[in-house]
């Protein structure tokens, strides 16, 4: 029987010499503004995506010119922080000097810097690393940035430090190759092939790494802002006076492909519970199972959710326990019942300290019109030496602020027209979009540039105070997590979207396809009709929009929406 042929990415990884490829040599090549195809794949492991300005693509093509290649760098930021004042100032300066001037908070609590030219790529990465800001493993077929509640160490009613666990997981799942540091930090090779095999021995990833990206989230009973059911591994600390154990969920993931039924979003399964002392071993063994059994012949089916779908949770648990050498405890039946929005001023458990959550529309930190968000944050952070955190809903938190500084910082926020909470509608604060055009190569339709106008329209019709979660993605990869929103809007064609309904406000249920290929000019009309119908027909004041739609006949709702 002939061996099944793996996808090309697998051979690229295996022959990459520890993810080095010929990246170092191509950086030196000033004659080209882009990297060769194999190195483009390897750059992802370094936290770098090669992109182009899609607003200019067609015009350049008409003129017979090549694309205008640019690069995006994504930082690694376990648990959303801590970001020191020096690191913030470095990010501000670097983004002003070498990227498009903005900082983009991601749904995995990282920063993205967009619009970097190839000639500035080394300077950017080198400067980030000099300030202890890494991008290693932020992308690629590897364990990505581990997300967690970013204020679990400072909020008074949180008794488990999820942030600290996120940092432990990040350290335990970091690739051992020194290639990243040789290329971007040292600027030259510092290890020879002879001693590399010993120094870089990687028992977790070996030479072929993982079949696909791998995402881990540490949740909390009081806060499902990370959408714990959407990760390859979800970890939920169970507290009843004291820590009982850590619940483990496996096999979540939201990406799919339109009209390809073999791909689909999936919520994670309840696997079991382990003691805190065993969690790192459990995580590594789960990653090893995906490494050994995940699909390497079809990248569309390579995420661990498809392995769970094929095996079932019982077989997966049996395989895990055989590798662990001990049995998991039964899953502790509990679901997260709230979402923390972090907004405004909040007292910390630390005496005399406060944190302040700031809404950042779609995660884009920049100065726009009269709202001097980037400049204002920079001045406040510099003056008061404020530490900061990022959230999985693309917002920004300043932490460990002295009580005596609260009124001074409040005044400065007003000076720069930065509103922490009150200015923005409930609907807007619950919305989220991915970047999409013009930088993302996978975007089918607009997202970040369109969603604010859709919210404007809905607010203008009087729906701003409605507690409804709307998420928009430019393609079905679903980076803004629309499949677990009450209204999911996913790009399906140019200026056309599929609408999904019936999700849960708290991220505990998938929504379902409702309408296909809706023109962008009709989105507000259809959503408005649905909201009106919900308000007039819901069972009681406590029936959320998503629950109403999930329990209602979609055929009837389609008649209403038309």
Return d(Cα 462, Cα 425) in angstroms, integer. 11
Return d(Cα 540, Cα 553) in angstroms, integer. 18
Catalytically active residues, by annotation? 74, 144, 213, 215, 434, 440, 475, 479
How far apart, in Å, are the Cα atoms of 530 and each of 129, 386, 518, 557, 561?
A: 49, 44, 14, 7, 6
Enumerate the H helices of 364-405 as residue ranges.
373-384
Return d(Cα 257, Cα 189) in angstroms, integer. 40
How far apart, in Å, are the Cα atoms of 7 and each of 37, 217, 298?
A: 14, 28, 6
Return d(Cα 70, Cα 137) in angstroms, integer. 20
204: Cα separation from own chain's centroid: 23
DSSP state of 220: B
How far apart, in Å, are the Cα atoms of 441 and each of 67, 99, 101, 206, 408?
A: 12, 18, 20, 29, 43
For the packed helices 451-460 and 523-537, what is the interaxial angle rounded to 10 degrees?
50
Say which residues have a Cβ less than 8 Å from residue 141's Cβ, sequence separation at least 6: 9, 13, 45, 209, 210, 211, 212, 213, 214
Closest C-alpha among 496, 499, 474 to residue 486: 499
Closest C-alpha among 116, 227, 132, 145 to residue 185: 132
Residue 390 Rama label (left phi>0; alpha psi -120 to 50; beta): beta
Tell me which residue has tokens 């040599």. 25
For the packed helices 554-561 and 523-537, what is the interaxial angle rounded to 10 degrees?
120
């Amino acid at each position: 029987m002939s061996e099944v042929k793996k996808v090309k990415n697998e051979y690229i990884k295996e022959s990459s010499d520890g993810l080095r490829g010929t990246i170092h040599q191509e950086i030196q090549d000033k004659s080209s503004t882009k990297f060769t195809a194999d190195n483009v794949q390897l750059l992802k492991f370094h936290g770098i995506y090669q992109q182009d300005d899609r607003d200019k693509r067609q015009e350049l093509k008409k003129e017979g010119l090549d694309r205008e290649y640019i690069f995006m760098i994504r930082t690694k930021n376990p648990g959303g922080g801590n970001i020191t004042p020096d690191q913030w100032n470095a990010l501000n300066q670097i983004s002003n000097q070498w990227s498009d001037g903005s900082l983009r908070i991601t749904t995995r609590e990282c920063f993205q810097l967009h619009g970097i030219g190839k000639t500035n790529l080394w300077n950017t990465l080198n400067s980030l690393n000099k300030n202890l800001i890494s991008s290693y493993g932020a992308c690629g077929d590897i364990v990505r940035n581990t997300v967690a509640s970013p204020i679990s160490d400072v909020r008074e009613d949180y008794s488990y430090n999820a942030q600290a666990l996120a940092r432990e997981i990040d350290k335990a799942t970091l690739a051992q190759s020194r290639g990243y540091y040789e290329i971007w930090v040292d600027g030259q090779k510092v290890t020879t092939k002879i001693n590399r095999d010993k120094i870089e021995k990687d028992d977790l990833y070996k030479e072929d790494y993982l079949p696909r990206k791998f995402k881990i989230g540490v949740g909390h009973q009081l806060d499902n802002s990370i959408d714990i059911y959407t990760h390859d591994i979800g970890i939920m600390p169970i507290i009843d006076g004291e820590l009982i154990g850590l619940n483990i969920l496996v096999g979540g993931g939201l990406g799919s492909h339109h009209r390809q039924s073999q791909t689909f979003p999936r919520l994670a399964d309840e696997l079991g519970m382990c003691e805190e002392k065993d969690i790192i071993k459990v995580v590594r063994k789960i990653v090893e199972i995906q490494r050994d059994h995940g699909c390497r012949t079809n990248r569309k089916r390579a995420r661990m959710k498809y392995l769970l779908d094929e095996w079932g949770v019982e077989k997966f648990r049996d395989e895990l326990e055989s590798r662990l050498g001990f049995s998991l405890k039964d899953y502790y039946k509990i679901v997260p019942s709230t979402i923390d929005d972090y907004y405004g001023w909040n007292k910390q458990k630390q005496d005399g300290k406060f944190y302040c959550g700031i809404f950042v529309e779609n995660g884009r930190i920049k100065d726009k019109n009269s709202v001097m968000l980037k400049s204002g944050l920079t001045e406040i952070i510099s003056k008061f030496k404020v530490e900061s955190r990022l959230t999985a809903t693309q917002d920004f938190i300043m932490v460990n602020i002295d009580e005596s500084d609260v009124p001074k910082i409040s005044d400065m926020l007003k000076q720069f027209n930065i509103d922490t909470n009150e200015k923005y509608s409930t609907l807007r604060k619950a919305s989220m979009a991915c970047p999409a055009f013009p930088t993302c190569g996978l975007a089918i339709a607009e997202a970040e540039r369109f969603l604010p106008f859709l919210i404007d329209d809905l607010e203008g019709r009087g729906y701003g105070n409605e507690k409804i979660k709307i998420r928009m993605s430019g393609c079905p990869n679903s980076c803004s997590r629309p499949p677990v929103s009450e209204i999911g809007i996913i790009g399906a064609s140019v200026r056309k979207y599929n609408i999904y309904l019936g999700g849960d406000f708290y991220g505990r249920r998938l929504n379902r396809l409702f309408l296909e290929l809706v023109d962008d000019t009709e989105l507000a009309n259809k959503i408005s009709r649905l909201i009106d119908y919900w308000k007039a027909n819901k069972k009681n004041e406590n029936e959320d929009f998503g629950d109403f739609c999930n329990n209602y006949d979609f055929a009837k709702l389609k008649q209403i929406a038309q």
